[in-house]
Chain A
Amino acid sequence: MSEQRRYKWVGTRQNRPDGADKVTGRARFGADFNLPGELVGKVLRSPHAHAVIKSIDVSKAAALPGVKAVVTGADFPEQPDQLLPAGEMQVNLRDVTRNVMAKEKALYEGHAIAAVAATTAAVAQEALSLIKVDYEVLPHVIDVQEAMKDGAPILHPHMRTDGVKPAPEKASNIAKRLEFNKGDAAAGFGKADIVIEREFTTQPVHQGYIEPHAALASAAEDGQVQLWTTTQGHFQVRGFCCRLLNLETSQLRVTPSEIGGGFGGKTVVYLEPVAIRLSQKAGKPVKMVMSREEVFRASGPTSGGWVKVKMGAKKDGTIVAADITVALQAGAFAGSPVGPSCMCSMACYDVENIHVVGYDVVSNRPKVAAYRAPGAPISAWAVESVVDMVAQELNIDPIDLRLKNAAKQGTKTHYGPTFGVIGMVETLEAAKASPHYKSKVKPGYARGVAAGFWFNVGADSSAAAHVGEDGSVTIISGNPDIGGSRASLALMAAEELGIDYKKVRPIVADTASIGFNFVTGGSRVTFATGLAVVNATRDMIGQLKQRAAKLWEVDVDAVVWEDGEARPSSTNVGKFEPLSLAKLAASASRTGGPINGHAQLNAQGAGPGFGVHIVDLKVDPDTGICTIDRYTAVQDVGTAIHPSYVEGQLQGGAAQGIGWALNEEYIYDAKGRLLNPGFLDYRMPVASDLPMIETVLVEVPNPAHPYGVRGVGEVPIIPPMAAIGSAIARATGVRMVDLPISPPRLSAALDAATPRMAAE
């Protein structure tokens, strides 16, 4: 931030508009909404990983005093086999309705089978125990590679692998095969001096948001429905619920709560359609809140995966070819992020010959949901580990090797597009120049480096700007704020208007109070909704100038807007006292009525982001415990509208990636039941596990945005796993290929590498 500041508000660190409410406990999260007469809704979940539901008898539950409604899969209409966009993922409505409430089969332990609404939680709980489900338990499959084998238990008898010619006749758990080609990989390996080939795996990891899913639905007798819920996209919730329940969008008004974390996991529906259906049947509002155990058993983690990487390089470090296979576990229904995983795999590098194949695989686990840069961390774990192996083999500094092969403006990606203005080279150079990388590695420690790429997203946004009677401004958008977006939107509006940030109040409106907004996801909000806010503010400024022109009786072209007031464009226009927002607001009725600006758009030109992470760690050879001593996240962030929240994104992503690398995993028993559905044994990092995560913000502005915004939230979860794995490899000489690198696993690998160290 040494360069001269171009802006008055953009790039400053103001208090967030939602801060006071959050630190004082006033903020209302999903479970904080209540209505008179509300009932408690609870879900009965499958105890089996895979079973045919032969029958469900709800008669005893329905007869229990206090029970007002019971629903099963039969209460949700059949849906077409049709894909819809949902955040960064695609979903199939036929599957969505079955994930919300099972129909023919229970496909994972925790799958919703039935739900009740009752006067108290205790009655609802007792009612669940009175529902009799007759299951025929089937063999199940958990692991992605097992699920791909011939003879694996088949989840969906109608599933044929898409993308294979000729179309297969046999049912398979492989939903889809994808392929990307650039150049000729096979020929490229012929030019290589060294070729490294290795297989890697990752475990599914949960987004781990602190706030469990919660919804309150109120369906009135006239068919109108209101819903309060914690979500990253209330318009998406509206869309899903209306499709699943045959409602018109105008009949359902969805109000988003403050959100206690989402990270992609709150872009789909679980409780919402159930709460509405129960409310419709009971004639009363119904509130549902998941327990933490339900969150783990039934809501989406991201995929686990298997990745094979073959990479060839010349002695000078030029990577000449890469051949990559990615198989991602989608959970019980098709639709893993294998597409982005394949696309991101080699996007950091300008390599002539690339071949990538992907497989989308179903197994008896909860359906995956988006999680920060969906799919990218999985392929990056493998590719970046192999890039580090190339650097080690050729004895080249890992940043220099990446600089030699870095993608730049004009690089054609293996998945199609040619990069415009990007900051991979600048990010690598900033990493190299960082205080961390320039410091000497402490004795007993080792350093690892890895890079990451994410596209970032644009899509549909609407915004409005209203001037109050006193000249203060309300900015209305429709994206739940999961990362400080309200502060960023207000900063851009204040910058445009030339008024104090504190005079601008940003709010997130419900689905009936602002036009459509696509979900908060893909790191799109500050870019796309930011663009809508800038345009709405400019629309308002245009009107303010017209009002001034009217009062001065001059042409509108003779009025300029500067520093929060209308001024004559030159002395030739005449001598007029500038008109402030307050003055123009006070005279609004006389000049044409209220002054509001609006904008709606489909934002094009989202700027890709690149990150480079550096970690210093030590390994306790006796216990396999890794201690992270220093960690730096370097990233091209376009322009940091609010630097603190940009840094927070980098730190949060790195912390989640460190958990993914070292400890997080789902542990299943032989029957496919999850053994660790809680934060005690699903080990996300705690504060004392991490050093302060240092950040370096590289600003290569995105030309498609007036303030140069690039999305920043996804990239920082991509590099940590390979940075840590590479540091461990350099510390111990052992290259870990399976995540998480938990103490027992690392200890076993170290003992296998040096048998004399093993316990007698």
Chain B
Amino acid sequence: MMEAQYRAPGSVDEAVALMAGAGGKGRVLAGGTDLLVQMRAGMVAPGLIVDVKRIAEMTAISQIAGAWRVGAAVTGAEIHDHAGLKKAWPGVVEAINLIGSKQVQGRASAGGNLCNASPAADSVPALVAAGAIATVQGPNGRREVPVEQIPAGPGKTSLKPGEIVVSFTLPARPAGSGDAYLRLIPRTEMDIAVVGCGVNLTMKDGTCTAARVALGAVAPTVLLVEGAAKALVGSKLDDKAIEAAAAACRAACKPIDDKRGTIVYRTKIAGVLLKRAVAIAAERARSN
């Protein structure tokens, strides 16, 4: 039985070096709300834990030319209290704030939620709908990756050995934009999404000029549903367009029957949530 080593570096370079030196046995600790639970359950036994919460770049929120940059280890509670981010990206903030309980929010981060690679991660569909770009640093330097390209399957990411997600960039966007995230859970709290749906819209003179739609928990990874976006763009978000977008969502689903929901139910709910999330995002877009 091996004891895990713990390091808390002060820079991304140092963290990347530690991970590279761990020979595949390293795990990044942000909030630890997934990692520590998995360790206690005996699911993972890392040799090295690299705590990234002392790295300034990974724990800061900043605005650059209208775009927001959010450190991958910023906690849900800090994001909840950030008025500027909340105003610009209410759907993203709501999604991040749905991770776990109030107590978990004090620790959990969007970076951890993404890298845990659960198909049901709440923050991911909202980030994908937002067109968020992840900044990733590894032994070979930095690269920018659209968020939807990071999950590779349940518990798996496309990150290369030693790579760390440093931050997310939420792009600047025109007036008349709004986003929303909805999930379905059987209870009202303390649960995992049976289906999650993120919608991001831009409206001009009552017409939808840009849209992104993402679904969670209906496939091995979060899905960017381009068919749903196509159905919305150019429309006035009339019933027909929304029903076509819902149908595209249902068609995109490749869910499984499991303890959290059935194929039939998940597929149906994907359409239901799309309609409800579009309504919220559209309302926000109109008032922006």
Query: Is A418 close to B, CB under 8 A?
Result: no
Contacts of B268 in A (CB 8 A): 747, 751, 758-759
A675: interface (CB < 8 Å)? yes
Structural contact, B190 and A681, CB atoms closer than 8 A? no
* A-B contact sample (19 more), CB < 8 A, given A126-B1, A681-B259, A748-B264: A623-B272, A624-B265, A625-B184, A663-B186, A675-B258, A680-B190, A680-B191, A681-B192, A681-B260, A683-B191, A686-B188, A688-B187, A689-B189, A743-B194, A744-B264, A747-B265, A748-B265, A751-B268, A759-B268
Given A667-B259, A681-B259, residue A743 in contact with residue B265 (CB < 8 A): yes
Tell which of A675, A743, A758 touches B259, judged by Cβ atoms closer than 8 Å: A675
Ordered by A's residue number, 10 sampled pairs between the chains whose C-beta atoms are within 8 Å are: A122-B1, A663-B186, A680-B191, A685-B187, A688-B189, A744-B261, A744-B265, A748-B265, A759-B271, A760-B247
Q: A748 contacts which chain B residues (CB < 8 A)?
A: 262, 264-265
- For B271, the chain A residues whose CB sits under 8 A away are 759
B interface residues (Cβ-Cβ under 8 A, vs A): 1, 184, 186-192, 194, 247, 250, 258-262, 264-265, 267-269, 271-272
Q: Are A663 and B187 in contact (CB under 8 A)?
A: yes
What chain A residues lie within 8 Å of B184 (beta carbons)?
623, 625, 743
User: Which 10 A-B residue pairings sit nearest by Cβ, starting from the closest?
Assistant: A744-B265, A759-B268, A688-B188, A667-B259, A622-B272, A688-B189, A675-B259, A676-B259, A686-B190, A681-B259
Given A759-B267, A759-B268, are A683 and B186 neighbors across the interface (CB < 8 Å)?
A: yes
Which residues A443-497 have CB closer than 8 A to chain B?
none
Which residue of A667, A675, A680, A686 contacts B192 across the interface (Cβ within 8 Å)? Answer: A680
A625 adjacent to B190 (CB under 8 Å): no
- Inter-subunit contact B272/A686 (CB<8 Å): no
Residues of A near B194 (CB, < 8 A) are 743-744
Kindly report which residue of chain A lies nearest to residue B243, judged by CB atoms.
A760
CA distance A683 to B260 in the complex (A): 10
Contact B189 A686 (CB under 8 A): yes
State the Cβ distance, B108 to closest chain A Cβ, in Å. Answer: 15
In the complex, what residue of chain B is closest to A126 when comparing beta carbons? B1
A742 at the interface (CB under 8 A from B): yes
Q: How far is the CA of A122 from the CA of B39 in the complex (A)?
A: 13
Please state if A759 and B188 are interface contacts (CB–CB under 8 Å).
Answer: no
How far, in Å, is A719 (CB) from chain B's closest CB?
A: 22
Of B190, B194, B262, chain A has the most CB atoms within 10 Å of the CB of B190
Mark A729-760 against chain B: 1 for CB-CB distance below 8 A, else 0. Answer: 00000000000001110011001000000111
Contact residues of A between 661 and 716, Cβ < 8 Å to B:
662-663, 667, 675-676, 680-681, 683, 685-689
Query: Contacts of B247 on A, CB cut-off 8 Å?
Result: 760
**A724–B214 alpha-carbon span in the complex (Å):** 35
- Chain A residue with the shortest CB-CB distance to B1: A122
Interface contact tally, CB-CB below 8 A: 61
The closest CB in chain B to the CB of A123 belongs to B1
Closest A residue to B265 using CB positions: A744
Known contacts A747-B268, A760-B250; A625/B186 CB under 8 A: yes
B262 CB → nearest A CB, Å: 5
A518 to chain B, nearest CB (A): 37
Residue in A closest to B266 when the chains form the complex, CB atoms = A744
Residues of A within 8 A of B189 (CB): 686-689
Q: Which residues of B contact A680 (CB under 8 A)?
A: 190-192
Residues of A within 8 A of B1 (CB): 122, 126
Q: Residue of B at shortest CB range from A665?
A: B259
**Smallest Cβ-Cβ distance to B262: which chain A residue:** A744
Contact B186 A742 (CB under 8 A): yes
A122 to B3, CA, bound (A): 11
Contact call B265/A689, Cβ cutoff below 8 A = no
Contact A623 B269 (CB under 8 A): yes
Distance, CA A122 to CA B259, complexed state (A):
31
List chain B residues, Cβ under 8 A from A759: 250, 264, 267-268, 271
Chain A residues contacting B190 (CB-CB under 8 Å) are 680, 686
Give the Cβ gap from A410 to chain B, nearest Cβ, in Å: 45
In the complex where A759-B267, A759-B268 touch, is A683 in contact with B262 (Cβ < 8 A)? no
Complex CA–CA separation, A744 to B269 (angstroms): 10
When C-beta atoms are compared, the residue in chain B nearest to A662 turns out to be: B186
Residues of A within 8 A of B186 (CB): 625, 662-663, 683, 742-743
Contacts of A683 in B (CB 8 A): 186-187, 191
Give the shortest distance, in Å, between A662 (CB) and chain B (any CB). Answer: 8
Task: For residue B227, give the distance in angstroms from its CB to the closest CB of chain A.
Answer: 15
Q: Counting chain A CB atoms within 10 Å of each CB, which of B191, B192, B259, B260 scores highest?
A: B259
Bound: A759/B264 CA distance, A: 8
Which A residues are CB-close (under 8 A) to B262? Answer: 744, 748
Residues in B whose Cβ lies below 8 Å from that of A744:
194, 261-262, 264-265
- What residues of chain A lie closer than 8 Å to B187, measured between beta carbons? 663, 683, 685-686, 688-689
A232 CB to nearest B CB, Å:
27
Q: How far is the CB of B184 from chain A (nearest CB, A)?
A: 6
Smallest distance from the beta carbon of A169 to chain B beta carbons, Å?
Answer: 41
The distance from the CB of B241 to the nearest CB of chain A, in whole angstroms, is: 16
Whole-angstrom distance from the CB of A289 to the nearest CB of chain B? 14
Chain A CB count within 10 A is highest, among B186, B250, B260, for B186
Contact with B along A599-632 (1 / 0, CB 8 A): 0000000000000000000000011110000000
CB distance from A427 to the nearest CB of B (A): 31
CA distance A680 to B189 in the complex (A): 10
Q: Which chain B positions have C-beta within 8 A of A758?
A: 268
Complex: A748 Cα to B257 Cα, angstroms: 14
Output the least CB separation between B189 and chain A (Å). 5
Interface centre among B184, B261, B264, B268 (most CB of A within 10 A): B268
- A:114-168 near B, CB below 8 Å: 122, 126
CB A683 to nearest CB in B, in angstroms, measures 6
Q: How far is the CB of A637 from chain B (nearest CB, A)?
A: 30
Contacts of A623 in B (CB 8 A): 184, 269, 272
Best-surrounded residue of A675, A683, A742 (most CB of chain B within 10 A): A683
Determine the residue in chain A with the shortest Cβ distance to B41: A293
When distances are taken between beta carbons in the complex, the residues of chain B under 8 Å from A676 are 259
CB neighbours (8 Å) of B269 from chain A are 623
B193–chain A nearest beta-carbon distance, Å: 12
Which residues of A sit under 8 angstroms from B265, Cβ to Cβ? Answer: 624, 743-744, 747-748
Closest residue of chain B to A744 (Cβ to Cβ) is B265
Complex Cα spacing A685 to B190, Å: 10
**Please, which residues of chain B bring their CB within 8 A of the CB of A667?**
259
Q: Which residues of A contact B261 (CB under 8 A)?
A: 744
Q: Which residues of B contact A689 (CB under 8 A)?
A: 187-189
With most chain B CB atoms within 10 A of its CB, the pick from A675, A686, A759, A760 is: A759
What's the nearest-Cβ distance from chain B to residue A295, in Å? Answer: 15
Q: Which residues of B contact A685 (CB under 8 A)?
A: 187
User: How distant is the Cα of A663 from the Cα of B250 in the complex, in angstroms?
Assistant: 25
Q: What B residues does A681 contact at CB under 8 A?
A: 192, 259-260
Measured CB to CB, the closest approach of chain A to B268, in angstroms, equals 4
Complex Cα distance, B271 from A747, in Å, reads 14
For the complex formed, measure the closest distance between the CB of A197 and the CB atoms of chain B, giving whole angstroms. 29
CA distance A624 to B192 in the complex (A): 17
Chain A residues closer than 8 Å to B188, beta-carbon distance: 686, 688-689
B188 to chain A, nearest CB (A): 4
Interface bits A2-27 vs B (CB < 8 Å: 1, else 0): 00000000000000000000000000
Q: Which residues of B are found within 8 Å of A624, using beta-carbon distances?
A: 265
B272 contacts across to A, CB distance below 8 A:
622-623
How far apart are the CA atoms of A667 and B264 in the complex, in Å? 18
| Interchain nearest-CB distance for B272 vs A (Å) | 4
Chain B residue numbers with a CB within 8 Å of A760 are: 247, 250
> Closest approach, in angstroms, between the C-beta of A679 and any C-beta of chain B?
8
Bound together, the chains give a CA A748 to CA B264 distance in angstroms of 8
A687 to B187: give the CA distance in the assembly, Å.
10
A533 to chain B minimum Cβ distance, whole angstroms, is: 40
Residues in A whose Cβ lies below 8 Å from that of B191: 680, 683
In the complex, residue of chain A having the shortest beta-carbon distance to the beta carbon of B3: A122
A126 to B1, CA, bound (A): 8
Q: Report the minimal beta-carbon distance from A369 to chain B, rounded to whole angstroms.
A: 23
Residues of the B chain whose Cβ atoms lie less than 8 Å from the Cβ of A751: 268
